[in-house]
Every structure is written in C-alpha cells, then in structure tokens.
C-alpha cells in the first residue's frame, strides 16, 4: 500500500490539461492575423504556445513585444474573437470525462486552477457542463496572485475542503508544477497537453509524468486506502 495520504482532491489546469482549447485559440489568433493582412500560422506552430495565454500568442503571431503600441489592441481583439468561439471545437481530452467520473465515484472531488481570466473560464466551464461538478473554479483573477505563485492552488484546496497533503495538481506547464510544489501538493505533468519542443518536463520535479488521463486515473487510485 502507498504510504502517502490518499488523494482526496484533484485540481486541474484548464488549457492543455482538462480541456483541449488549442483549436479555438488558434482559430482566434489566425483570425486576427488575417484581419491584419498576415498569413495564418499552422496549428502545429500555435499549439505549444496556447498554455501561455494571449500575450504569448500575440508575440508568436506578430513578433512584437508588449511595449509595442498595437500589442494590447491586438490582444484584446484575439480575446474577443476567442470569447465568441469559446467552444467552437474545444472539448475534454480523450479519457478525461471517464477520469472525472472515476474521481467522483470514489467520493473524491476535483476542481480547476487556471490563469485564464474568469470572464473566459466561466463560460467555457459552463459550455462543457462542468461548472456544477467542480468543487472549485479558480481563475487568473480570483486571487491576488497567479501561478506560478502558490496562492491559487492553496485557495483551491481550501474551497475543496482538503488539506494540501490530500491534493494533487495536474498541469502541462512548468509554472503549474512550480506552483503546486510551493503549495505543498503532489504534482503531475500532463504530457498530452501543450508541451513545447524546448520544454523539459523531466526537470520540473513533478511527482509523476502522465501520458494520458487513463494513466492519471491509475496513479490516483493507487493512493486510495483499501
């Protein structure tokens, strides 16, 4: 039997971990590019950047920094288009629905801790029919700090009614694992998420690297006392 405390709460990053949002964010970026008379980018180029948000997408698409006079206008336009198409193609990653059901069937709970702002997180969760099921939904503007600061994860643990020793945080970016480690929860890397070529998840010091939600389910259940 595993000698660590059983996991009671699983907290997920949203983009690239719980839901595959890349198609809709890529669509929004390419719409902005085409509006500005530029060529659309291949999906494969955009996908690894999605977890880093609108700022990173504008930098990728237009090759400009935040100080550029047009940067904020372009970013706002990107988010406007994205909000209008927030579940155009977005869906849970394969196997994730079964994982959530398995968590619930074991009398555990789950929630979301994301840097996505609430005005995008909330309609997305609602469209995916997940709002009522989640024990907590922590957006990028819920707390004073955002990941990689541990505050959002600590707040998520509190709302879910679990001690940090009973929680697992799952994400696909280094800041996710950093936030989880500093919060004192166990951490898992979703290798099926938006991992870039220059990322080295093996160096992030997570508790486990997972190829699929099925692997995550098996690992979580290993902590349940018999």
CA pair distance 161, 158, nearest whole angstrom: 5
53 φ/ψ sector (left φ>0, alpha ψ -120 to 50, else beta):
left
171, β-bridge pairs: 189
167, β-bridge pairs: 9
* Of the candidates 128, 137, 98, the residue with the CA atom closest to the CA atom of residue 215: 98
* Of the candidates 37, 34, 58, 64, the residue with the CA atom closest to the CA atom of residue 46: 58
Whether 141 is catalytic: no
Of the residues 13, 24, 176, 215, which is catalytic?
13
Of the residues 15, 24, 176, 215, which is catalytic?
15
* Of the candidates 45, 40, 49, the residue with the CA atom closest to the CA atom of residue 21: 49
Q: What is the distance in angstroms between the CA of the first residue and the CA of the last residue of the chain?
A: 8
Question: Tokens 């996991």 sit at which residue?
Answer: 7
Whether 163 is catalytic: no
Catalytic center residues: 13, 15
């Amino acid at each position: 039997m595993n000698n660590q405390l059983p996991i009671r709460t699983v907290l997920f990053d949203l983009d690239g971990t719980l839901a595959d949002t890349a198609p809709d964010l890529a669509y929004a970026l390419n719409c902005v590019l085409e509006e500005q008379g530029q060529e659309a980018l291949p999906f494969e180029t955009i996908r690894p950047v999605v977890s880093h948000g609108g700022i990173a997408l504008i930098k990728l698409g237009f090759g400009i920094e935040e100080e550029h006079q047009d940067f904020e206008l372009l970013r706002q336009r990107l988010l406007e288009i994205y909000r209008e198409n927030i579940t155009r193609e977005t869906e849970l990653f394969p196997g994730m629905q079964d994982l959530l059901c398995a968590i619930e069937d074991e009398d555990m709970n789950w929630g979301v801790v994301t840097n996505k702002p609430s005005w995008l997180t909330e309609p997305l969760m609602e469209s995916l029919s997940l709002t009522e099921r989640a024990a907590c939904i922590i957006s990028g503007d819920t707390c004073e700090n955002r990941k990689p600061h541990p505050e959002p994860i600590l707040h998520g643990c509190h709302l879910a009614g679990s001690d940090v020793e009973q929680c697992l945080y799952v994400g696909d970016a280094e800041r996710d694992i950093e936030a989880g480690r500093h919060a004192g929860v166990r951490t898992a890397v979703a290798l099926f998420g938006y991992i870039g070529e220059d990322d080295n998840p093996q160096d992030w010091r997570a508790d486990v690297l997972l190829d699929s939600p099925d692997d995550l389910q098996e690992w979580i259940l290993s902590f349940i006392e018999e």
